Structure 1
């Protein structure tokens, strides 16, 4: 009976000791800083993210992930609830992204802010303020992975077509032509060095003579340039004289102005001639034509009947159907 009481006392002592140690550990590890709660709605998966995962602001630990669940407001999104220290500068331009710790695959929430001076993010009523979620680097690489693979496949196809047998032959031929051209250039360089360095040889280049000829050529070019300068001065003087003449012609009362006035006077005279003299000339021509026609008819009548000058114009015999017409007698027919 005494052994059982000792065992019971020992067990109670151990339990009390464990409870005291647990309370001490909780008291030592308690977080006394004030924290704010924010929500993050992510349209992407959060694989590797666990509750109590770290929340970092530009790499600095500022909080923990409290809860991970499905978003009841935006269907298909993942709702993350985080607790952030009061000292973290969370503004309306702050955004979140999913980060990964090395090769362990453990994820954390990375907060960042690209705009300075933005207003602080505060709750509106009872709703918890939300921080927008942006795709992480891994997500962007996953989205572009298919395009990258397609481009790599196309590049490999083009590389294979470029390294085909016919193209390899053409490439080797081009390399051979380049090698031949390099050899020709080297031989030409050696030939030029030999020609320039030869003394007394038939193909040697007489450098002093070449310099003398170049000097003569330069002097000739200088004299030509002087003559061209003189000609340019004469052309400039002619251009000045032409400008002065043109100014005299175009100034008020000048030659062009007088020609314009003479042309206007000539046009006025022409209009007067057309409006006054030409109608009179037309009437005179018509009267003359009428008189000529009358004289012609008189001459024709005098030629047909000259005695009409003495006896006057005879009356014309009546024709068939007129009064006084007498039919001529019928001609006698032969027996």
Structure 2
């Protein structure tokens, strides 16, 4: 009798729990049915993968409704029309924006409303004539589009890489690596000479630096001389040029003022030339006479023969 009593108690408990769950479900259904809903059409001009009937509708992250139906636009099948219902107490305004958001890691999507200012008119929607709200592209949609482009580019890159590593290119690459290895070995063998060359270059660089310092010092000295002594020389030259200019002006003025006298003087000098020739001839003759007198005075004066002296 005792095992049978236990089975009866378990059966009664099970029936009671089932009845309570059924009553709770009926209460939830009745509560949902009794709520007032506002209906809207959300228009998408891009794919809505991950969105399905019953998915939640959010407003700033809070669930305010769900997706009722999804259809394609008969005029443009690339556009999707999603019928949603939202609690009638939630104000959906003309400047309220709608978009898709990722619901979970499985890829399920939700519709989310954002924005809407109190001064914007409120949209009233019914099941028979729901207003249309065009959805804005979400960052996730942009990410998906970019991901597709990225996959296409990655596939193209892999194809180009495969072509780059063809048998012929691999052989060329092997030859290049072998040549590189030989060149490296040669450089290692010549490392002492390279070290000496680097040392010589360093010494040359130091010498060039010292030469540059000396040139800089010479340039500074020359600049100092030009600034100090050169200035006085230039001033003296300027003064001399001014004096020469003044003298030239005076000579020019005197030449202009005494042009007639200079012409007469030059003419007189031209007439003086024959007299100078006569004077030169006279002087020559006088010189001859003087020489004769000094040599033989008697003959020069009397014109006779000179007296001879006889020795005893």
* TM-score normalised to structure 2 length: 0.45
Give the TM-score taking structure 1 as reference length: 0.43
Higher relative contact order (CA 8 A, sep 6+): 2
Question: As a proportion of its length, which structure holds more helix?
Answer: 2
